[in-house]
Amino acid sequence: EPEVTQTPSHQVTQMGQEVILRCVPISNHLYFYWYRQILGQKVEFLVSFYNNEISEKSEIFDDQFSVERPDGSNFTLKIRSTKLEDSAMYFCASSSRTGGNQPQHFGDGTRLSIL
Amino acid sequence: QKEVEQNSGPLSVPEGAIASLNCTYSDRGSQSFFWYRQYSGKSPELIMFIYSNGDKEDGRFTAQLNKASQYVSLLIRDSQPSDSATYLCAVTISNTGNQFYFGTGTSLTVIP
């Protein structure tokens, strides 16, 4: 069964450094998402992306964050100047169509640890 | 405020019993409802989704939606130890596009 893949599985970074989290969505999907889950807390929406542009973003997704689809397969989340509170599990998801009734399929996540 | 509430549990049921998981939501514009299973340290895995009032069955799982009372539930019949996980309720809202609003999840333990 097609799946969303994320790399790396675990990223350890010094505070203030930049990180790039990578995702390969399911190949025929057109809509991509990033969520994060701080340990012990709920999964929170960060951003959605379609047709090479951001379609929605949450209050969490401030100027520190950016997303990009650099080629036909990868979808990346960049966090500039990381802070301790950015430590979380980051999940990429994709869906085949738009509309609030479409299931989203999640990758296994990248655990980001900021030291 | 777009709140999705779940009892965090833990909920313990014996093997073979029915596990009942509940979720309430605050926004009456909520349109679609999803249940995900999440094992510790793993990604959310889609179990099923429901859009219309009533019941929807898929194997051992049944989702129940009551929009008037603003709750959605998941029943797991013939619970197995492998069903032990955290179950996440996610909701989309008609005027906020595709983003999912998640509850905090209910931890389920099935006791052999």
Q: State both tokens at B72.
A: 């959605």
SS3 B16: coil
Q: Cβ separation of A33 and B92 shorter than 8 Å?
A: no
The residue that leads in pLDDT, B41 or A20, is A20
Contacts of B49 in chain A (CB under 8 A): 101, 103
Instruction: Report pLDDT for B36.
Output: 96
Flag if B98 and A98 touch (Cβ within 8 Å). Answer: yes
Is A104 touching B (CB cutoff 8 A)?
yes
In angstroms, the Cα distances linking A89 to A53, B39, B42 are: 23, 13, 9
Is A44 in Cβ contact with B97 (below 8 Å)? Answer: no
Instruction: Report the residue from B90, B93, B97 with minimal CB separation from A55.
Output: B97
pLDDT tens digits, A69-104: 988 789 999 999 999 999 999 999 999 876 667 899
Burial state string for B80-89 with b = 16 or more CB within 10 A and e = fewer than 16: eeebbbbbbb
